[in-house]
Amino acid sequence: MWWRSAVIYQVYVRSFADGNGDGTGDLAGVRAHLGYLRDLGVDAIWFTPWYPSPLADGGYDVQDYRSIDPRFGTLAEAEALIQEALALGIRTIVDVVPNHVSDRHPWFQAALAAGPGSPERERFWFHPGKGADGGEIPTHWVSSFQGETWTRTTNPDGTPGEWYLHMFTPEQPDLNWNHPDVRREHEDILRFWFDRGVAGVRIDSAALLIKDADLPEVGEKTGPGQHPTEDRDELHDVYRGWRAVADSYPGTRVLVGEVWVPDIERFTAYLRPDEMHTAFNFDFLTRPWSADAFRTSIAATLAAHAPVGAPSTWVLSNHDVTRPVTRYGREDSAFAFLKKRFGVPTDPDLGLRRARAAALLVAALPGSLYIYQGDELGLPEVEDLPLELIQDPMHHRSGGIDPGRDGCRIPLPWAGSEPPFGFSPAGTRTWLPQPDAWGDLTVAAQEGDPASTLNLYRAALRLRRALPELGDGPLGWIDGLGADAVAFRRGPSFACVVNAGDAPLLLPEHEEVLLASSPLPEVDAPGGVMLPGNTTAWLRTKTDAAASADSAAAATRPTPSEG
């Protein structure tokens, strides 16, 4: 049951480490730094797509699901990497992208060539336009990348042809999941990677695969499961099929869904025992810095997961969202894609302080934990990239209003005092430029500083590993510490207290402070130790008999066999 408590580190391959000196991260770079991930204390790595791709959407436009992009390496290197990581106790999770393929994928190329009415086109959503000359778009569904979701093709004789559906960019045509070839192919892709020893898959855009074949406009049909492109009930059958494939392998091969579904009951429906194992908990990630918002989100998340028996996941960021250091330093610190703008002020010191406190909060919550590369270094979002270097289609499709996601995808700083900070050999231009001021944020600089964010993460993950009450299991709220506190106990003698306000609060009685995200005042206040604002502390408390009973009950609960 490793996955119920796992710490999973997300590697954005292009920006982790460059092994061949071309300015882009690659598998050689990852292999060279596996020791770093072992020392950090992670249980698994999730790799963002590493397949051959024109990179119209950073690799989420896949040309061949069974190979590695030559810029990143070879399949043999990926196989070696999976084994080397395993030898260090680190499992591998690969990213599969089932909703769409690259427009260079052989299926789409064949569909374009075969023309209207061909079986090749049935694997996608080709459709005649409306109106006398077919010039009107089939539906007005809006892309999550803004703009229209259909592009018109040109027939071989040069006349305007059918339209095809793409929920993202035109370079990412959507597959038709009602077609048996599509289902078979993806189950086969799962087997391909499971056969190579991967421990799980992260399922991209998992709630979008099925579309209403009647092509209604949004809102024409109402009620749960009736949206034309999102969270349709038929999806569950797809994931039951995937679960059967995963379960046919020894050990647990996990399905981790990227499920952006706001209704928490509909979200956890994907986690029923014969569907996915876990899904990213985006509810927490979108919440502002507020004790009330955190408590509400945590309580609702735990309550909704309990009936399906799935563990929660905790995610502060990923390659799509604003880095916590920058987000939590803003006056409005809630996250929403459509809110992203240039020039929104942030207080980086406050943001870092809160991001560190948030890291200890999520690491103490029940379930599995995701860490996006660079968060352990406290990297901020880079918000002043020269416009002409921005690659993300979210920026371009917004007409330049949305800064896009490149600011959280900057190559990691490893060592040294100037770019490329050991990411690439000295003098190399990295695919996105790093800020000159990142010298203090490098891994090398932080390793030598006991108070660094890297050392805070290392200490937290070490404790999480050492304390059996952390990870999966029950949580008991501690009340009475005031409106700004988020406080709970795990097991009989561990407590986590977050002070999300600015004024200090009195910590509850404890025997020892195990870890704190910011220094605690040296002089004890009358009555005990004060927890400063925007800080989290992990405490060893006196053994609580009621909590011991909870944990004993949890420990004796029957669980599926270990994998």
Minimum Å distance from CB 208 to ligand NOJ?
9
Whether residue 41 contacts residue 458, with contact meaning beta carbons closer than 8 Å, is answered with: yes
Minimum Å distance from CB 407 to ligand NOJ?
14
Q: What value, to the nearest 5°, has the Cα angle with vertex 134 and ends 133 and 139?
A: 150
Helix (H, G, I), strand (E, B) or coil at 22: coil
Number of neighbouring beta carbons within 10 Å of residue 135: 11
Nearer to ligand NOJ, 19 or 257 (CB): 257
For residue 517, give the nearest of 495, 502, 532 by alpha carbon: 532
- DSSP assignment of 143-159 equals PTTSSBSEEEEE-TTSS
Minimum Å distance from CB 320 to ligand NOJ?
5
What is the C-alpha separation between 138 and 129, in angstroms, rounded?
5
Binding to ligand NOJ by residue 168, rule CB under 6 A?
A: yes
Minimum Å distance from CB 311 to ligand NOJ?
21
Binding to ligand NOJ by residue 204, rule CB under 6 A?
A: yes
Minimum Å distance from CB 100 to ligand NOJ?
7
Minimum Å distance from CB 60 to ligand NOJ?
3
Minimum Å distance from CB 59 to ligand NOJ?
8
What is the C-alpha separation between 19 and 5, in angstroms, rounded?
31
Minimum Å distance from CB 33 to ligand NOJ?
23
Nearer to ligand NOJ, 268 or 391 (CB): 391
What is the C-alpha separation between 17 and 26, in angstroms, rounded?
6
Binding mask 300-319 for ligand NOJ (x = CB under 6 A): -------------------x
What is the C-alpha separation between 349 and 445, in angstroms, rounded?
18
Minimum Å distance from CB 138 to ligand NOJ?
21
Binding to ligand NOJ by residue 375, rule CB under 6 A?
A: no
Which parts of 196-269 fold into alpha helices (H)? Answer: 235-247, 264-268
Nearer to ligand NOJ, 91 or 409 (CB): 409
For residue 307, give the nearest of 343, 265, 351 by alpha carbon: 265
What is the C-alpha separation between 530 and 517, in angstroms, rounded?
13
What is the C-alpha separation between 406 and 322, in angstroms, rounded?
10
Nearer to ligand NOJ, 28 or 55 (CB): 55
Binding to ligand NOJ by residue 97, rule CB under 6 A?
A: yes
For residue 537, give the nearest of 463, 472, 483 by alpha carbon: 463
Minimum Å distance from CB 261 to ligand NOJ?
14
Nearer to ligand NOJ, 98 or 474 (CB): 98
Nearer to ligand NOJ, 48 or 453 (CB): 48
Minimum Å distance from CB 319 to ligand NOJ?
6
- DSSP assignment of 206-220 equals TT-S---TT-PPTTT
What is the C-alpha separation between 541 and 529, in angstroms, rounded?
13
Nearer to ligand NOJ, 205 or 434 (CB): 205
- End-to-end alpha carbon distance in the chain: 5
What is the C-alpha separation between 528 and 543, in angstroms, rounded?
18
Binding to ligand NOJ by residue 125, rule CB under 6 A?
A: no
Nearer to ligand NOJ, 69 or 320 (CB): 320
What is the C-alpha separation between 553 and 539, in angstroms, rounded?
23
Nearer to ligand NOJ, 282 or 289 (CB): 282
Binding to ligand NOJ by residue 60, rule CB under 6 A?
A: yes
Binding to ligand NOJ by residue 230, rule CB under 6 A?
A: no
Binding to ligand NOJ by residue 177, rule CB under 6 A?
A: no
Nearer to ligand NOJ, 204 or 402 (CB): 204
Nearer to ligand NOJ, 5 or 169 (CB): 169
Q: Collect all residues with Cβ–Cβ distance below 8 Å to 493 and sequence separation of at least 6.
A: 469, 511, 540, 541, 542, 543, 544, 547
Query: Within the chain, what is the greatest distance between any pair of CA atoms?
Result: 86
Binding to ligand NOJ by residue 406, rule CB under 6 A?
A: no
Binding to ligand NOJ by residue 320, rule CB under 6 A?
A: yes
Binding to ligand NOJ by residue 57, rule CB under 6 A?
A: yes
DSSP E strand boundaries for 228-302: 254-257, 278-279
Question: What are the tokens at 80?
Answer: 């070696």
Angle between helix 180-195 and helix 235-247 axes, rounded to 10 deg:
30
Rg of the Cα atoms in the chain: 24
Size of the site for ligand NOJ (CB under 6 A): 9
What is the C-alpha separation between 425 and 428, in angstroms, rounded?
6
Nearer to ligand NOJ, 165 or 361 (CB): 165
Binding to ligand NOJ by residue 65, rule CB under 6 A?
A: no
Q: Collect all residues with Cβ–Cβ distance below 8 Å to 438 and sequence separation of at least 6.
A: 379, 413, 419, 421
Position closest to ligand NOJ via CB: 60
Nearer to ligand NOJ, 258 or 402 (CB): 258
Which of 205, 453, 534, 551: binder of ligand NOJ (CB under 6 A)?
Answer: 205
Helix (H, G, I), strand (E, B) or coil at 347: coil
Minimum Å distance from CB 169 to ligand NOJ?
9
Binding mask 257-276 for ligand NOJ (x = CB under 6 A): -x------------------
Binding to ligand NOJ by residue 488, rule CB under 6 A?
A: no
Minimum Å distance from CB 201 to ligand NOJ?
14
Number of neighbouring beta carbons within 10 Å of residue 203: 26
Minimum Å distance from CB 476 to ligand NOJ?
34
Helix (H, G, I), strand (E, B) or coil at 489: strand
Nearer to ligand NOJ, 319 or 489 (CB): 319
Task: Give me the residues that bind ligand NOJ (CB under 6 A), please.
Answer: 57, 60, 97, 168, 204-205, 258, 319-320
